[in-house]
Amino acid sequence: MVNIKAQPLLLHASIGYGHTKTAHVLAAEIKRSTQYKPEVVDLFSSLPVWQQTMIRKSYFTIIGNTPFLWDVCYRYTSQTKKSDLWFERLARPLYDTFNQIILKSHRPFILSTHVLITRLLAVWIKRSSKNIPLYHINTDFKLHRLAVHPQVSGYFLSGLEAFPPQTDVPSTCYYSYGIPIEHSECRFQNKDVLKDRLGLSRNKPVVMVAGGGEGIARYEEIIKGLNRIPQITILCFTGINQRLLLKVKQLGLEQDIQVIPFTDKFSMYVQASDVLITKAGGLTLAHALTVTTPVVIFQPLPGQEIENALLLKEKKAAILAEDESQLYKAVHTVLFNREKRSLHLKHAQALSKPHATRQIIQQIILETPGHEPFFAPVDA
């Protein structure tokens, strides 16, 4: 019998909205399909406020001002085991925190949506000798070496990545189900119908510009690059970035530009748009692949986003634009060249994994002792 009081734990870090969103998407699926009552925890929330502020400020300063430093750090930790000792030491101050979070309830399993958290949890499980299954949910299209650890029970991957070299992981431990995306009842609805629901004109192509939950994208350059295309609606999604919201509104260009802050209708807007311009966040790309919305990637962030962009470009499932001229050409092509648009969408659909969320939870539940059956079909 299943212990219905057991609480699966989903741990994430609120740097990069995709990790947070993925945790909540998976938790919603657990609630929808099982009798468990999952708990979602932001590991950062357990830190003092000044530490949270310092870490976030440092991260976004590096990404915004010296991105090459992040790229160096990302590549160094992905290519060598010399950094592992540092992470072993980093885990020690968090032992008490993990004890408080994890041991306060019966945990049939733990899901981690962040590479760093997976590594820290694996170290804690090894040191504490706790027999709690830990699963890593990859939110990008390539797996970082830090997530690979003997204490990880399983890896859920996009299907495009390979395991990093010099890792000994049995093939039975990884599943290429795809990146989890939000369940959407309107995924296959007609674009015109969705445009009507969102108050958008059917008579003008809709170009969506997304920079993640934090609103990190070259919005000014993108809008200027699009200014040569007449009669389009540009939707700028600025997330929680209030300063950017005001800045875009003050550009004063002649295009029909709508600035949209953080919204729970993001998924619907992706499906209603005629093209999506994004910086290559894994969750946004995974969702876009499941709908009839071509993707143009513009100046992705170093590290995992560049890897995402290159992988999808190689598969011809996204167009990578490096400057305003290439951006204009790419957007103009997918909007007005029906043959190339259709071919682009065909490649994207070949990589689409719309049922990833359901399949991931189903696999985990099946591996959990005393698991309960699923109550809804996979294609619900």
In a domain, 246, yes or no: yes
| Predicted pLDDT at 341 | 95
* In a shared domain, residues 346 and 358: no
| Predicted pLDDT at 244 | 63
In a domain, 73, yes or no: yes
In a domain, 213, yes or no: yes
* In a shared domain, residues 344 and 361: no
- Average pLDDT score over residue span 332-353: 94
- Average pLDDT score over residue span 108-122: 93
| Predicted pLDDT at 275 | 96
In a domain, 377, yes or no: no
Q: Which long-range contacts (CB under 8 A, 24 or more apart) does 52-59 make?
A: 55/15, 56/15, 59/15
| Predicted pLDDT at 81 | 73
* In a shared domain, residues 64 and 164: yes
pLDDT tens digit sequence for 4-49: 578 999 999 877 778 899 999 999 999 998 989 999 999 887 777 7
Counting the structural domains of the chain, the total is 2
| Predicted pLDDT at 312 | 95
* In a shared domain, residues 319 and 216: yes
pLDDT tens digit sequence for 225-276: 888 888 899 998 876 666 665 666 666 556 688 888 878 888 899 999 999 9
The range of the structural domain enclosing residue 163 comes to 9-181+354-367
* In a shared domain, residues 115 and 50: yes
pLDDT tens digit sequence for 157-192: 998 876 665 566 666 688 999 999 987 655 667 899
* In a shared domain, residues 131 and 229: no
| Predicted pLDDT at 162 | 67
Q: Domain holding 217: CATH number?
A: 3.40.50.2000
* In a shared domain, residues 255 and 171: no
| Predicted pLDDT at 248 | 65
Q: Domain holding 85: CATH number?
A: 3.40.50
* In a shared domain, residues 295 and 335: yes
In a domain, 74, yes or no: yes
Banded pLDDT at 88 (limits 50, 70, 90):
confident
| Predicted pLDDT at 278 | 92
* In a shared domain, residues 285 and 155: no
In a domain, 2, yes or no: no
Banded pLDDT at 57 (limits 50, 70, 90):
confident
Asked which of 105-114, 203-212, 313-322 is least confident by mean pLDDT, the reply is: 203-212
Average of per-residue pLDDT values in the chain: 84
| Predicted pLDDT at 145 | 87
Beta-bridge partners for 27: none
* In a shared domain, residues 175 and 200: no
| Predicted pLDDT at 378 | 46
In a domain, 380, yes or no: no
In a domain, 378, yes or no: no
Banded pLDDT at 51 (limits 50, 70, 90):
confident
As a three-state string, the secondary structure of the chain is CCCCCCCCEEEECCCCHHHHHHHHHHHHHHHHHCCCCCEEEEHHHHCCHHHHHHHHHHHHHHHHHCHHHHHHHHHHHHHCHHHHHHHHHHHHHHHHHHHHHHCCCCCCCEEECCHHHHHHHHHHHHHHCCCCCEEEECCCCCCCHHHCCCCCCEEECCCCCCCCCCCCCCHHHEECCCCCCCCCCCCCCCHHHHHHHHCCCCCCCEEEEECCCCCCCCHHHHHHHHCCCCCCEEEEEEECCHHHHHHHHCCCCCCEEEEEECCCCHHHHHHHCCEEEECCCHHHHHHHHCCCCCEEEECCCCCHHHHHHHHHHHCCCCEEECCHHHHHHHHHHHHHCHHHHHHHHHHHHHHCCCCHHHHHHHHHHHHCCCCCCCCCCCCC
Which residues, 6 or more positions from 33, have their beta carbon under 8 angstroms from its beta carbon? Answer: 358, 361, 362, 365, 374, 375, 376
Asked which of 62-76, 116-130, 286-300 is least confident by mean pLDDT, the reply is: 62-76
The rounded percent of the chain whose pLDDT value lies above 90 is 46
* In a shared domain, residues 148 and 25: yes
* In a shared domain, residues 100 and 16: yes
d(CA 24, CA 41): 10
- Average pLDDT score over residue span 287-310: 91
| Predicted pLDDT at 247 | 65
